[in-house]
Amino acid sequence: MSEHENLAPSRLAGMYNAVNHEFKRLQEALSSRRAQDRHVVKAKDWVWKTSGETIGLQFKKTHQVAYLIAPELGFNVYNFHAFVVEIPPGGQEGAYHSHGEAVKFYLKGRGREIIGDKVYEVEAGDAMFVPADVWHGTQNPYDEAFRFYAVAYTDIGVPLMRSVIFRSRKELESDETKKIAVSKPVRSDYERMDAWEMISARRALLKQLGRLEEEMERRRKLDRHHVKAAELNWEPSGRSTGMKERSGRRNAKAVSPEMGFNVHNFQSFFVEIDPGKSEGAYHSHSEALKLYIEGWGREIIGGKEYDIEAGDLVFIPANTWHGSQNSSTDEPLRFFAVTQGRRTPLAVQVPFKIRDDLRV
């Protein structure tokens, strides 16, 4: 049973959105690091840390890691990061985990690589590919240190495939690992973190997203297609966004993964605003469409204001501040909103197709 299985859809969405928001803040802080535009790291400058100091997953000192190329270290890199791992005799990489695709090159010694249900004996000079979203880990059962170089993608927003998030297998976590709660908050003053603190914070947030995404995937398998108006569950604003609840506004989730729809690219919901009230704090997110179905009022998008009424349709570009106001004194303002799915990458063109057996 998932630890989030019994959460109401709005609560699951709220937790998911809150972690995503925090992750976005961390990503924004990385911009100044990338501006350093480094290109070279010398071997003499490698900084070794124990596993618990780098990935935030365990205290047990089973191996050491030296991060070499990463945005936190001042490189203008987005698609991967590079690091070296050294495992002492009898040690292991730690809790088995999954993330994006990875390539490993073994530098010293020999060891054992576990990828899914396969076990490989590897040694210096060998290379290994680890597919995305496959459980894996490394052991050193021998009497000399074992070292490998790895290039991996563990971020979010992987194009042309479902986003893959760092996870660790709960049943293989050590007692030391379990002492770190998934919900443990990370320091949010990212600008003042050193590189290793930021790497640890990012990994902790990715792990939280991974656990929540697993529950989203479980609910997608319910494969719903229809939600009736009478089934809508209206709740106070803020509950599904991870923000403080606000009076005078209600939301009702519609087509979204937390509601049991096998949807990745969209989410949709209804919003109702009381007479004289507004949507709340102006906000920004991914692309959105609003179809006004009742009442009248004003929509503020960036520096522009528009009078709107039932039947109007509004497009809101990504990352644009916006909000709705109900100008009426006696009737609610209601609209149906469709936004991009969470972490949706830039669109890839998909050709339109018609089933030959259904042509007219």
Q: What angle do CA 250, 235, 185 make, to 5 degrees?
A: 105
Instruction: Give the residue numbers spanning the domain of 286.
Output: 229-340
Per-residue pLDDT, 353: 57
Distance CA(21)–CA(19), nearest Å, equals 5
Distance CA(246)–CA(266), nearest Å, equals 25
Alpha helices in the chain, H assignment, sequence order: 9-34, 51-54, 175-178, 195-220
Cα torsion through 276, 280, 282, 287, rounded to 10: -100
Report yes or no: 326 and 275 within 8 Å, Cβ to Cβ: yes
Distance CA(325)–CA(318), nearest Å, equals 20
- For 127, phi then psi, to 5°, come to -125, 150
- The percent of residues above 90 in pLDDT, for the chain, comes to 30
Reported as type and span, the H/E element at residue 114 is: strand 110-115
* 38-58 average pLDDT score: 72
Q: What is the DSSP letter of 75?
A: B
Number of domains in the chain: 2
| Segment among 85-94, 181-190, 240-249 with least mean pLDDT | 181-190
Query: Do both 238 and 322 map to the same domain?
Result: yes
Per-residue pLDDT, 184: 46
Confidence band for 274, pLDDT divided at 50, 70 and 90: very high
Q: Is the pLDDT confidence value at 188 over 50?
A: yes
Query: Do both 212 and 234 map to the same domain?
Result: no
* 249-269 average pLDDT score: 90
Query: Do both 239 and 213 map to the same domain?
Result: no
Instruction: Give the pLDDT confidence of 310-322 residue by residue, as tens digits.
Output: 999 899 888 888 8
Q: Count CB-CB contacts under 10 A for residue 244.
A: 11
Identify the bridge partners of residue 114 per DSSP, sorted by sequence position: 119, 137
- For 115, phi then psi, to 5°, come to -130, 110
Query: Do both 161 and 268 map to the same domain?
Result: no
Confidence band for 149, pLDDT divided at 50, 70 and 90: very high
Confidence band for 333, pLDDT divided at 50, 70 and 90: very high
Q: Is the pLDDT confidence value at 285 over 80?
A: no
| pTM metric for this prediction | 0.71
Q: Is the pLDDT confidence value at 347 over 70?
A: no
Distance CA(277)–CA(31), nearest Å, equals 37
> What CATH number did the domain enclosing 152 receive?
2.60.120.10
Q: What is the DSSP letter of 182?
A: T
* 12-17 average pLDDT score: 88
Q: Is the pLDDT confidence value at 75 over 80?
A: yes
* 273-279 average pLDDT score: 89
Q: What is the DSSP letter of 318?
A: T
Where a domain ends, among 190, 218, 246? 218
Query: Do both 288 and 155 map to the same domain?
Result: no
Confidence band for 125, pLDDT divided at 50, 70 and 90: very high
Confidence band for 107, pLDDT divided at 50, 70 and 90: very high
